[in-house]
Amino acid sequence: MRFTTLAMAASLLSGSVMAEDKPFAIAIHGGAGTIVADKLTAEQKQAYRTALKEAVDAGHNVLATGGDSLAAVTAAIIILENNPLFNAGKGAVYNFAGGHELDAAIMDGKTMNAGAVAGVTNIANPIKLASAVMLHSPHVMLAGQGAEEFALEQGFSTVTPNYFDTDARKLQWQNAIEKIKQDQQHNKNYQASIHQFTLEDKFGTVGAVALDKQGNLAAGTSTGGMTAKRFGRIGDSPVIGAGTYAENGVCAVSATGHGEYFIRYQVAGDICARVKYQDISIVQAADQVINKRLIKAGGTGGVIAIDHRGNIATPFNTDGMYRATRKNNEDAQVLIWQQE
């Protein structure tokens, strides 16, 4: 009798320990590119690190208190969208015409549902609208005016397009236009010029991936796209399988970089397919795609990726990628460059 009681107590204890031990983790990014350490002041570096920590902690807090991965991803992204340092929401870049067109997507690995918006001009937090598309429409992606009409129906408040104006992005845009004009005089094509801008300092897309205690994976990405992009251009971020992807039991990915490559090479989906069908680790799969396949193709950028056990990979083939991770009850790790 005594033995049985003890055995029951032990099994209950191990059951509760196991429940407590369910892995959970989050990774976020704030864009990849040529982040030159000397060009950033100590205050700027600190401002990026503080913002990344605030965002990763917000998402982590959702997970630690039993919230789901979709809520964690959304909480982290909203903080980054509201911060003018990042090319999403408030700090979105300018398109060629001098306006702002924002793209965002979110994917639920549990249901394989996804929602995305492209080319929206008056929504402060496009990630929220992407969630609304996923949850309250029969569609996956809504673009431009149709997305904005849907937002009104869903009770979203709108902002005037100049809400997205910032001096730093305006300067980047002016420099980009100048460069494109010079390149045109030398018969260089627009595509080549745009590629150069991605390599320089036009990064800043934001994203998050998370695993919650229930084992659900989610991914989200939000961006203003690429500086001086053509009016109507849509990047990889809202394209499911390119810039954003999540599948329970496999992995969740959010990308940043030269979107045209990420679309053509199906980066997020390819990483998860490698994990699923080749049975390799998330670190190997993400490295193969970012540091081999994409480099060979000439595509620049990086990803944050997480698997169903909470293993995280954050490869990028540029100088830097603003990023942060936080697993279980560990402290946050906030990083910018390859070697730190």
Residues of the shown chain interacting with ligand ASP in the complex, contacts defined by CB under 6 A: 31, 203, 205, 223, 225-226, 235-237, 243, 256-257, 259
d(CA 195, CA 293): 17
193 or 205: CB nearest ligand ASP = 205
d(CA 138, CA 189): 40
255 or 334: CB nearest ligand ASP = 255
35 or 251: CB nearest ligand ASP = 35
Q: Residue 285 corresponds to which amino acid?
A: A
Least separation, in Å, of the C-beta of 226 and ligand ASP? 5
Terminal-to-terminal C-alpha distance of the chain: 58
> CA-CA distances (angstroms) from residue 102 to 205, 233, 234?
10, 10, 9
181 close to 160: Cβ distance less than 8 angstroms: no
Least separation, in Å, of the C-beta of 162 and ligand ASP? 21
d(CA 298, CA 264): 12
Least separation, in Å, of the C-beta of 60 and ligand ASP? 23
Burial of 61-84, coded b for 16+ CB within 10 Å and e otherwise, reads ebbbeebbbbbbbbbbbbbbbbbb
Least separation, in Å, of the C-beta of 198 and ligand ASP? 6
29 close to 312: Cβ distance less than 8 angstroms: no
80 close to 50: Cβ distance less than 8 angstroms: no
27 or 226: CB nearest ligand ASP = 226
Task: Beginning with the edge strand found earlier in the chain, give each strand of the sheet holding 301-307 in spatial order.
Answer: 244-247, 251-257, 301-307, 312-313
225 or 310: CB nearest ligand ASP = 225
Q: Is the Cα torsion angle 295, 300, 304, 305 positive or negative in sign? A: negative
SS3 at position 301: strand
74 or 205: CB nearest ligand ASP = 205
Beta strands at 102-108 and 333-337: parallel, antiparallel or unpaired? unpaired
Residue 98: CA count within 13 A, CB half-sphere: 2
Phi, psi of 244 (to 5 degrees): -145, 135
Least separation, in Å, of the C-beta of 243 and ligand ASP? 6
259 or 310: CB nearest ligand ASP = 259
d(CA 167, CA 178): 17
Catalytic: which of 205, 223, 300, 314?
Answer: 205
Least separation, in Å, of the C-beta of 257 and ligand ASP? 5
Would you call 205 a catalytic residue per the annotation?
A: yes
* Catalytic residue IDs: 205
